[in-house]
A and B are shown apart, each in its own frame.
Chain A
Amino acid sequence: MSEFLLLRHRNQGEEDIADLDAYIRLGGFQAFKKVVTEMSSKQVIDLVKNSGLRGRGGAGFPTGMKWSFLADRFPRYVVANSDESEPGTFKDREILERNPFQFLEGLMICAYAAQANVAYNYCRGEFWMLAQELHGKVAQLHERGLLGEGIFGSDFALQIHHHLGAGAYICGEESALLESIEGKLGQPRMKPPFPADRGLYQQPTVVNNTETLANVPLIIERGADWYRSIGVAKSCGPKIMCLSGHAKNPGNYEVPLGITFRELIFGLAGGIRADRGLKAILPSGASAPILPATDAVLDTPLTYEDVPRVGSQLGSASIILLDETVDVSWAALKTTRFFKHESCGKCTPCREGTYWMDRLLERINNGRGDPADANLLGEVAKQISGKCLCPLGDFSVSAVVSGLELFRDDFVQHVRSGNQTAEKLTG
């Protein structure tokens, strides 16, 4: 099994392609030139549709389809979602650092396809240094005439603005992201209407993940058939897997969709640290159900279709490994602590429920819990599930519900030996 560097480095060896001259010398912006000078907006959308590219932000929605849904109103906007905030996700950052122009080129092609003249790149607040770099890169593109008025002698004009978030996980949710760009409190909007109809400033808007956009120039350059040849039928193309936790060699692995957990973990990443046993996998950060490290799971291909079959989601492929020493109730507390901290507070079940789950898990983990607390925890999680305004509410219960189902003993042992532990802690 070999790795790609298509998204992160255009497979360009030692070249520093974050340098505009190098990027252009190695064929950069040819795709953008091609779409602006040779293709209609519809042709671009059809090509991306045919390529089978699906959104890399987590939902896996077909990208070309998303572009074709735009309501027939102008102005339109395109927005890159670089608010990479899922625990265990660090792929967009590497793209922005090592291969920023390929991402920007993807954003520019997307803007052309959407007939938008203004594009935003929404970066998480912690990317402030990156955003400064990107400012400079956009200025360079203006100098070269790749941005601004009359690009390549056409009547296409484009501006790119970088917008820094203020450190909210929820702003990775597209409607909250749009609210944030508008200068409002980062809270998700009611859907429908969807951004394709009423997005930024109530105008038709495309929001795409950074990694998704980095795929686009490759598709234009090499064609849909080439792209489909990578990966499997419905999940094709290269994908960056962010492997963290107890892997021997954690990091980003750019692979074709469809390799198995086993190939990734034990093939590419060299197995588990200290050669311990693997207990469980969080395949999509804190947001999707925990998977047990069974053979059936390990042999599951990493695709948008196969991971749900074993009970979880591929999501943004932020794969966190838990070895046999990990107490899943502790891991569940980590996720609820995160969601309690990040809940925007707009809807009741998420605002109050994450807080309650956190209190329960803290009690359980401190050994101050009651034997009934494990059941109550499960019920509170169920109470949140399916009732929230945005998907993040449902995400918040994933680790708790699956953890309780698969590793109930991890939770129960604390409450069984509750008083002892409490004494230990206080004594």
Chain B
Amino acid sequence: MADFVKLKIDGQSVSVPEGTLIVDAAKRAGNDIPVFCYHPKMEPVGMCRMCLVEVGTPLRDRESAELQMDEHGDPQIQWMPKLQTACTVPVSAGMRVRTATENVTLARKDVVEFLLTSHPLDCPVCDKGGECPLQNLTMQHGTGKSRYLFDEKMQLQKRVPLGDLIFLDRERCIQCARCTRFQDELVGESVIGFDQRGRALQIVTFSDPGFDSHFSGNTTDICPVGALTTADFRFGARPWEMQHTPSICPHCAVGCNTHLNTRRSSLAGEHVIKRIMPRQNEKVNEIWLCDKGRFGHHFVGSPERLTVPLLRKDGHMIEKSWEHVLPLVAARLAAAGGAVAGLAGERLSNEDLFTFHTLVDGLGGGTMQWPGRMGGGDVVQHVGVAVGTDLAHLGADTVILVVASDLAEEAPLWWFKVRQAATKAGATSDKSRATLIVANARETKLDPFATHTVRYRYGDEVRTVLALTHSILGGDAGLAASVAEQYSTRVSEAARAIAAADNMIIIYGSEGLDFSGSSALAQACANLLISCGNLGSLGNGLLPVWPSNNTQGAWDVGVKPAGISVSEFTAAAEVVLLAGADPVGDGDALPDDAFVVVSELFSTESVRRADVVLPAQAYAERDGSFTSGDRRVQRFYPALPPRGQTLPDWKIFTRLTALLGLGAAAAGAGAVMQQIAAAIPHYTGITYERLAAVEQQWPDVGGRDSYYGGTAFENSAGLGVQTPTLAETGHFLQLGDVQSPPVESGDLLAVPVTLLYDRGSTLVRSEILHPRLPDPYVELNVADAQVANVASGDRVALCINGRTWELTARVSFRPPQGAALLPRGLGGPPLPRITPASLRKMAL
């Protein structure tokens, strides 16, 4: 804990940690010093000169270093001859700061006037108007009248695409470098920067495609003027016209806190999401969002949504009312006599999954998490990452081991925070860096920040973790030695780093792995944690990179992967109940004679096979909760009116439950959460009220003032509650058996990998992201491509398990030799795990 320093700001005594900047010290005392370039998440640069204040320090005798006192016995203050930038000067003991003198007031007026000499003042047509720091600070500190001749203003380009997502207005830019510093310091991808100098200084992009970053949208939030706008929101609405509803991102397991900004599309039009903004939750997404989370919302407003219940009659789907179809479904369920198979998607909310499970379980049937391709949920319940752990703040006493995951693609904000822990870039007084070990068969975007990189062969994930364990514990020396030999000495180096650290977080994924493979990997990781004693306390435990936003919640409420194929699972079913699940689309046939009921957003392959179709509500139209990978239960709220006759899934299932006499219908999502809290031990005590609780967060980026500007939203709707693991509740944990999956062999192994931008049904409807959505492809190592005489862009035929897929080839050094990377969710082969394949170039 840093020492505290006492100083006086405008006569008010303030005590702040050593190293705090004057601007932040003043903020803590409720004094908003105006800033443009300063941002509490980034290193100060002192460029805009808006925060100039008078600073004095106690005068000391040169010889004795004694404080010099005045006639009143107060220390004499030596005032610095020039005004100082409050954003660059750290506080010191006895310092005096004046922020309200004539000099300071004049300086602020001067800087605003200077900035406005180049600014177009096109606020009436500017997206930022209404929430613009320049606008606000001009109102507060400007003169209201400029002496600069309007005719002498510079005319610059107003529509410069930095990429397909972000546009630059060169006239509005005030050269504060927040955007470039965000990319340099916090993302580590310097794809934008300054060009030219003086008044010609301008933001340019260096990458191809332009502004090639998963985090580009954040620059539009922290831009203190309307210079950077998103292609999605540009000229879309005025800030004051929109309603703000707190929500949770439905895309990945991080669970970023968001605000949905909604408005009618026209006077008589529908309510639509105009934009998604980050909502501050320092433990989760801080004040950031990835571009998928920000731009991938269009599925909600898609005209392709299902809006009316449908019933199959004589081969045709007929629109029916809920009153008609629900009793019919209930009757079929009752008649099935327990031969009910329920498949629920990992995207559904906790309330949906719980009511689904209650219904199917009550009928004597079984539920299956769909696709349920990643295992380890039970293990996570034992040794999951400890409550309160913040990845970004892990320090030198901690090792972060990332296995079988391309974190940047699978959970961007976790990548962001792990990088932060490993680099401690940006504005942090804590420069203690965590040791990062990245174990993967190929290079990922985490490698540049890794202390140790362990490169294994696909299929050897479990063996590698076992080797690390044995290397630390001196167990099976043979395995440790053989793996170490096979993969150079990196295993032993990494093992030494683990042994030397006090704390360890293991982040495991499912790259190339199916359910059994990832289950074994989870158990191997758990054993490593248990063996080293790294569990149950802050900064320790296992973090699963689940494939979906609520995979964790599905595990928690009892909807688990079946471990068998869909056809096996449904073979004996008379009724198949699908909720947010599309097994048919993945090539899994349902029994011909089964009665299929589907609750869905869109007309999927499974919907086309269904006998009854129940239109569900999207997350933005209803309330509910998701549980993120670090077991944080978080609430989302209804932002849009329901579409057509849609209902939330939980309401459908609780009504069916009531119709079948299996229980009373729940009155609301909050009531379902009460049932969950009563039924699931680690959810005990969780209520919607608790989930909505907030506390003061630092930095304070709320919308109450224009201090940090930008439009990061303060969180007044809930920080969520993390569920405890068994390790934290004092259970004794034993090592589990690890069944190392059989290693496939073959000249070419097809390996399923995950991309951030895939063609899943919730992303493909965001046309804005289409330039970033690749067609199905297979990525080959240069050496393998040479053997097959294939070049980048060639069409190839990839044969897997006797079935042939036509794909575009990409050739690079990224895949290891012998591996063909097959991105999931692009419409190519839905490959569960590493599989031998053969490839040939197709004739033109």
Q: Which residues of A contact B (CB under 8 A)?
A: 168, 170, 185-187, 190, 340-349, 351-356, 359, 376, 379, 383, 386-389
Contact = CB atoms under 8 A, between A and B. Distances in A.
A421 to B, nearest CB: 18
Given A187-B197, A352-B114, 13 more contacts: A168-B197, A186-B197, A342-B198, A343-B199, A347-B49, A348-B47, A348-B174, A349-B49, A349-B111, A353-B114, A356-B148, A376-B147, A389-B46
Given A387-B52, A389-B47, A348 B114 contact: yes
Given A352-B117, A386-B82, A345 B52 contact: no
Nearest to B48: A348
Contacts of A344: 197-198, 201
B66 interface: no
A355 B46 contact: no
A342 B197 CA distance: 8
Contacts of B118: 352, 355
B661 to A, nearest CB: 73
Contacts of B115: 348, 352
Interface in B34-67: 44-50, 52
B107 interface: yes
Range of interface residues on B (Cβ < 8 Å): 20 to 34
Q: Which 3 A-B pairs have the closest CB atoms?
A: A345-B201, A352-B114, A343-B198
Given A190-B88, A387-B83, A387-B111, A345 B197 contact: yes
Contacts of A387: 49, 52, 82-83, 107, 110-111
Contacts of A351: 114, 175, 198-199, 201
A344 B198 CA distance: 5
A293 to B, nearest CB: 30
A349 B147 contact: no
A280 to B, nearest CB: 27
Contact of B47 (A347, A355, A356): A347
B266 interface: no
Nearest to B106: A383
Contacts of B117: 352, 355-356
Contact of A347 (B46, B110, B197, B199): B46
A343 B194 CA distance: 14
A349 B174 CA distance: 12
Contacts of A343: 197-199
B46 A170 contact: no
A187 B196 CA distance: 11
A138 B152 CA distance: 50
A383 B114 contact: yes
B88 A340 contact: no
20 contacts: A185-B194, A185-B197, A187-B194, A190-B45, A341-B198, A342-B198, A344-B197, A345-B200, A346-B47, A347-B48, A348-B47, A348-B49, A348-B114, A349-B49, A349-B114, A351-B198, A352-B199, A355-B117, A355-B118, A355-B198
B111 A348 contact: yes
A65 B386 CA distance: 54
B113 interface: yes
A2 B773 CA distance: 77
A349 B115 CA distance: 8
B827 to A, nearest CB: 43
A55 B147 CA distance: 41
Nearest to B112: A348
B161 interface: no
A42 B371 CA distance: 72
Contacts of A354: 198
Contacts of B196: 345
B193 interface: yes
A146 to B, nearest CB: 38
A389 B196 CA distance: 18
From B50, B52, B194, residue with most partner A Cβ within 10 Å: B194
A352 B114 CA distance: 6
A354 B174 CA distance: 15
A345 B147 contact: no
Contacts of A356: 114, 117, 148
A135 B396 CA distance: 45
B446 to A, nearest CB: 24
Contacts of B199: 340, 343, 345, 351-352, 355
Contacts of A185: 193-194, 197
A386 B46 CA distance: 14
B380 to A, nearest CB: 41
A190 B46 contact: yes
B38 to A, nearest CB: 12
Nearest to B193: A185
Contacts of B82: 386-387
Interface string B157-200: 00000000000000000110000000000000000011011111
Contacts of A187: 194, 197
From A168, A346, A383, residue with most partner B Cβ within 10 Å: A346
B44 A345 contact: no
A186 B197 CA distance: 9
Contacts of B200: 345
Nearest to A376: B147
A351 B117 CA distance: 11
Contacts of B194: 185, 187, 345
A8 B503 CA distance: 64
Interface string B79-115: 0001100001000000000000000000100110111
Interface in B112-166: 113-115, 117-118, 147-149, 152
Contacts of B113: 383
Nearest to A380: B147
Contacts of A170: 197
A383 B110 contact: yes
A349 B196 CA distance: 17
Contacts of A349: 49, 110-111, 114
Nearest to A388: B49
Nearest to A393: B49
A341 B152 CA distance: 17
Nearest to B116: A352
Contacts of B147: 376, 379
Contacts of A352: 114-115, 117-118, 199
A345 B198 contact: yes
Contact of B198 (A340, A359, A379, A386): A340
Nearest to A186: B197
Contact of B175 (A168, A345, A389): A345
A187 to B, nearest CB: 8
